[in-house]
Amino acid sequence: MIDFTFRSGLTPRFPSPSPGLPEKDEVITEEAGLRASAGRAPRVSLDVEEGALVPQGAPVARLRKSPDVCFVAPMPVRVARIGLMQGHRLSEIVLFREAGGDVIRHDTSQADTAPALRHLMQVAGVWSWLGRRPFGGMPRPDEQPGAIFVMATDTTPLAPDPRQAIAGQEEAFGRGLHALTRLTDGPVFVCQQPGPALFDSAPNAGRLRTVSSGPRHPQGATGLRVHALFPATIERPVWDIHAEDVAQLGTLIATGYLPMRRLVSVGGEALREGRLVRTQPGADLRGLTHRFAQPGPRVILSGSPLDGHAARWLAPRHRQVTVLPRQAAGKPPHWLVAALTRSAMPKPVIPNAALDQAFGAALPAMAFVRALGSGDDDAAMKMGLLSLLEEDVALADYVLGGEAQLPEILRAMLDRIRTEFAA
């Protein structure tokens, strides 16, 4: 076991009612939205038209250049609206729940080989649950990672406990975990809180490794674990996947049916009570929150209070919904006051201990922030840029008051490097 339970990180507090225990019944919203993960919208080909009836697990769209990679219906649905951007890029596909519809069963007879497992994950819709570093998004269909990180810990404020998400699915989790070892020649790291191992490593001794992380954020941040244990490079990408998705992969391999449910926390200052619910990917955020929100204007975020964004649908890899009061627009300051307090140049970043802790002591915080701010790609890459995504620097941006805009700067730098590499 690799131990990272040192006393680094922070515990930011955000007002929210206690979520209590998970809902016994699934909370399936009447509407859902299919959209791509954060990053460049993929070019897709459609398998359905508006008004079509689609069974759960059946493809709705697929990658234009890699038709095996499918986006599937998270429940039996009727297609309500298809939104494509220029170039057949996926914007969103709105789906209405269709009670009593069918569920697709997949052929898993050949899933014990790496090519067949890869094909199964792509046609069943699991492929879009994978994340990659560098640059983010889902992996290329033929890509082989240097390592895979399974996240069974999440230290983001108000996040649900992944251990709770896979409770009762331990056998399926182990089956899915051992299947992942067929997709890489490198290690598969299972990041978890201190305690007993979540799996039996005997069938793949040396390939499966437990990483113990502490409770403070960002000790459970994927990017910082990747940077510390197996840094991503352009030539050697690294994948990550949530522990609950691994358990569902294990169920798919055993039964041919892919469960389309995930444990999601619903929290935030504008709620009367918090909730832990099992709902479908792409759930309607208004349907999850309207009966529990306080009166008054509010904003609903897909994601955490640190890095969430206002949205209608639960984002593909999110497991949090945050409801906040909508702030009334204040009177704008006098133009002279605005000119004196708002410079065209970014505000200087003052070194402090909180900034070091916001990166979990995993990299030189001040030097890294300066490299981002100055656009020094080479220096940022040497310090671990290629292992990080926006959510990994969200706590640092919060510590700096949100003025540094670190997630936006990091994304612009990653896009620039990807463009230069592609050229």
The mean per-residue pLDDT over the stretch 172-194 comes to 95
Question: Is residue 3 predicted with pLDDT exceeding 70?
Answer: no
Q: Note whether 357 and 217 are same-domain residues.
A: no
Residue 240's nearest CA partner among 145, 354, 374 is 145
39: left (phi over 0), alpha (psi -120 to 50) or beta: left
pTM of the model: 0.93
- Domain extent, residue 158, equals 2-255
Retrieve residue 214's tokens: 């502490």
pLDDT bucket at 330, cuts 50 / 70 / 90: low
Residue 198's nearest CA partner among 189, 207, 206 is 189
Q: Note whether 268 and 247 are same-domain residues.
A: no
**pLDDT at residue number 194:** 86
Please indicate, yes or no, if residue 228 is contained in any of the structural domains: yes
CA distances from 173 to 74, 99, 114, 193, 245 (A): 20, 29, 18, 16, 9
Please indicate, yes or no, if residue 99 is contained in any of the structural domains: yes
Q: Does residue 144 contact residue 183 with C-beta atoms inside 8 Å?
A: yes
Residue 221's nearest CA partner among 333, 321, 133, 312 is 133
Q: Note whether 80 and 190 are same-domain residues.
A: yes
The mean per-residue pLDDT over the stretch 219-238 comes to 96
Q: Note whether 246 and 312 are same-domain residues.
A: no
Question: Is residue 343 predicted with pLDDT exceeding 60?
Answer: no
Cα distance from N-terminal residue to C-terminal residue, the chain: 41
Q: Note whether 162 and 47 are same-domain residues.
A: yes
Please indicate, yes or no, if residue 409 is contained in any of the structural domains: yes
Give dist(CA 312, CA 302) in Å, integer.
8
Q: Note whether 218 and 364 are same-domain residues.
A: no
156: left (phi over 0), alpha (psi -120 to 50) or beta: beta
Q: Note whether 200 and 271 are same-domain residues.
A: no
Question: Is residue 80 predicted with pLDDT exceeding 80?
Answer: yes
Provide the number of structural domains found in the chain: 3
Residue 214's nearest CA partner among 256, 135, 153, 255 is 153
Q: Note whether 24 and 165 are same-domain residues.
A: yes
Please indicate, yes or no, if residue 287 is contained in any of the structural domains: yes
Q: Does residue 372 contact residue 406 with C-beta atoms inside 8 Å?
A: yes
Please indicate, yes or no, if residue 343 is contained in any of the structural domains: no
Please indicate, yes or no, if residue 374 is contained in any of the structural domains: yes
**pLDDT at residue number 255:** 97
The mean per-residue pLDDT over the stretch 165-176 comes to 95
The mean per-residue pLDDT over the stretch 398-410 comes to 89
Give dist(CA 13, CA 197) in Å, integer.
29
Give dist(CA 31, CA 282) in Å, integer.
9
Q: Does residue 155 contact residue 304 with C-beta atoms inside 8 Å?
A: no
Please indicate, yes or no, if residue 179 is contained in any of the structural domains: yes
pLDDT bucket at 5, cuts 50 / 70 / 90: low
**pLDDT at residue number 328:** 62
CA 137 from chain center: how many Å?
10
Give dist(CA 322, CA 158) in Å, integer.
9
Among 255, 272, 299, the domain boundary falls at 255
Q: What is the pLDDT of residues 20-50, one digit of tens each?
A: 777 767 899 999 999 887 667 899 999 999 9
Please indicate, yes or no, if residue 344 is contained in any of the structural domains: no
Q: Note whether 30 and 78 are same-domain residues.
A: yes
Q: Note whether 355 and 239 are same-domain residues.
A: no
Q: Note whether 311 and 375 are same-domain residues.
A: no
pLDDT bucket at 345, cuts 50 / 70 / 90: low
Question: Is residue 262 predicted with pLDDT exceeding 70?
Answer: yes
Q: Note whether 61 and 182 are same-domain residues.
A: yes
Residue 252's nearest CA partner among 114, 124, 150 is 124
Residues 6 or more apart in contact with residue 358 via CB below 8 angstroms: 9, 10, 218, 365, 395, 396, 398, 399
Residues in the chain: 423
Q: Does residue 260 contact residue 75 with C-beta atoms inside 8 Å?
A: yes
pLDDT, mean over the chain: 91
